[in-house]
């Protein structure tokens, strides 16, 4: 008997930089392929199709993340209220580099300074 590994869901909330007709979206410095089975929804409009996505929209992308395989989206939500300048990464911190004041979460390196709170 063995324990099943815990599946962790992670969240990226950021502005869409680009949306391709091939179901590829660009967020931060990454691109993600959205499968036909991914749930796309809006708090205001309910379930949506891929064609509703536009560059500039703030989205909340939920998925599974592993260092080896990266981020695999399972749900995309367009929040009712959003702040385009605010980015949220919710996941396990993979690495901390105190020398240069950075850490990596969900494959994204985040720089800190004296003005930012942790």
- DSSP letters of the chain? --PPPPPPEEEEEEEEEEE-TTSEEEETTEEEEPPTT-EEEETTTEE--GGG--TT-EEEEEEEEETTTEEEEEEEEE-SS--TT--EEES-EEEEETTTTEEEETTEEEE--TT---
State the pLDDT at residue 77.
94
Region 52-72 average pLDDT:
92
**For the segment 39-55, what is each residue's pLDDT rounded down to a tens digit?**
999 877 789 999 999 99
Chain segment 13-22, per-residue pLDDT in tens: 999 999 998 9
What pLDDT sits at residue 60? 95
CATH of domain 9-90: 2.40.50
- Of the ranges 27-36, 44-53, 104-113, the best mean pLDDT one: 27-36
Residue 8's pLDDT is: 73
Does the pLDDT value for residue 57 go beyond 90? yes
Higher local confidence (pLDDT), 105 or 81: 105
pTM reported for the whole predicted model: 0.78
- Please report, for the chain, the start and end positions of each structural domain, with discontinuous segments joined by +: 9-90
State residue 51 phi and psi, 5-degree precision: -65, -15
User: Scanning the structure block, which residue is given the tokens 């008997």?
Assistant: 1
């Amino acid at each position: 008997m063995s324990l099943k590994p815990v599946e962790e869901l992670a969240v990226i909330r950021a502005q869409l930089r680009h949306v391709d007709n091939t179901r590829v979206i660009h967020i931060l410095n990454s691109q993600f392929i959205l499968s036909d089975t991914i749930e796309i929804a809006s708090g205001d409009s309910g379930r949506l199709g891929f064609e509703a996505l536009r560059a500039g929209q703030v989205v909340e992308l939920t998925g599974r993340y592993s260092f080896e395989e990266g981020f695999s989206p399972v749900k995309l939500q367009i929040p009712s209220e959003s702040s385009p300048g605010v980015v949220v990464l919710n996941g396990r911190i993979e690495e901390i580099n105190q020398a240069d004041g950075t850490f990596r979460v969900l494959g994204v390196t985040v720089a800190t300074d004296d003005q930012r709170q942790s």
